[in-house]
Amino acid sequence: MGTVRKTITLTIKQDSWIKAQIDAGHYTNDSEYIRDLIRREQERNTETEAIRSALIEGEASGEPKRLDIAAFKKRMLIAHG
């Protein structure tokens, strides 16, 4: 995997926060911390898009139907029994 060197500017408070995370043993250096933040944001965006897609699919599926509780429970027993 290739890497790209970046220069970023942080506030003193932000830099202190990163140093505290490293001192606590959560990360070994600044770069590891920043990469972890990016990975988490990428995962969050993926999850958000999945939810958004499911909502759109649900809206497009038509009018809601009345839920038959007995039939639902029966399907769950069969599926997990």
Mean pLDDT calculated for residue range 26-52: 97
Mean pLDDT calculated for residue range 46-65: 94
pLDDT at residue 64, rounded to an integer: 87
Planar angle of CA 21, 6, 37, nearest 5 degrees: 35
pLDDT at residue 28, rounded to an integer: 98
In the predicted structure, residue 45 carries a pLDDT above the cut 90: yes
Planar angle of CA 66, 70, 74, nearest 5 degrees: 120
pLDDT at residue 39, rounded to an integer: 97
d(CA 71, CA 44): 35
Residue pair 43/37 in contact by the 8 Å Cβ criterion: no
Question: Domain-by-domain residue ranges, the chain?
Answer: 12-80
